[in-house]
Amino acid sequence: MARRGTAETRTVKSDPIYRNRCVNMLVNRIMKHGKKSLAYQILYRAVQKIHQKTKTNPLFVLRQAIRRITPRIGVKARRKSGLIRQIPIEIKPEQARVLAIRWLLEASRKRSGPNMAIKLSAELVDAVKGKGGAVRKKQETHRMAKANRVFAHLRRRSRNKRR
């Protein structure tokens, strides 16, 4: 427990061009070594590429891709009677969105291509179509949770329910 009180929740600022929170979250995850302007350049080039490829609103494509990648359930390792078991848990919406963005960027970094903007735009378009590494990661997580649903009874309960 923190001795100085609880930390106040900060609101995520929206990006300067699209005024979208999701875009800003994505920029903060793209950013390496504090180079935010470079992260904005990468994202805006990727958005341009998406607009050229699909001829639709790129923010709609971005939101739809993140929605497709967002997991509903995941697994968490718990130690029970000497064994470590993967226990399925529900993921809160905010954490699920963070996971989706992380998976999206991991998959786009693993792709082959000349630069990050092209790789990111290709991954976003593939995610909307239901393909790509990020969608595969979500399906793998759901499959893992489904396979281990036998251990769902081992989830920790809140302290009020135990008493």
Give me the architecture of the 21-162 domain, per CATH.
Answer: Orthogonal Bundle (1.10)
Query: pLDDT by residue (tens digit) across 23-56?
Result: 888 999 999 999 999 999 999 999 999 999 999 9
pLDDT tens by residue, 80-95: 888 888 889 899 999 9
pLDDT at 161: 55
Q: What is the pLDDT of residue 159?
A: 52
- Per-residue confidence at 102, pLDDT binned at 50, 70, 90? very high
Segment 53-80, tens digit of pLDDT: 999 999 999 999 999 999 999 998 888 8
- Residue 160's pLDDT is 56
Where are the domains positioned within the chain? 21-162
β-partners of residue 88 are 75
* CA 74 – CA 88 distance, rounded (Å): 6
Place of tokens 């529900």: 90
Average pLDDT, integer, range 97-114: 94
| C-alpha dist (Å) from residue 5 to 1, 2, 8, 13 | 9, 6, 9, 24
Give me the pLDDT at residue 66, please: 93
Q: How far apart are CA 80 and CA 90, in angstroms?
A: 19
Q: Give the Cβ contact number of residue 66 at 10 Å.
A: 22
Residues 161 and 9: their CA atoms lie apart, in Å, by 27
Q: Binning pLDDT at 50, 70 and 90, where does residue 115 land?
A: very high
* Whether pLDDT at 142 is above 70: yes
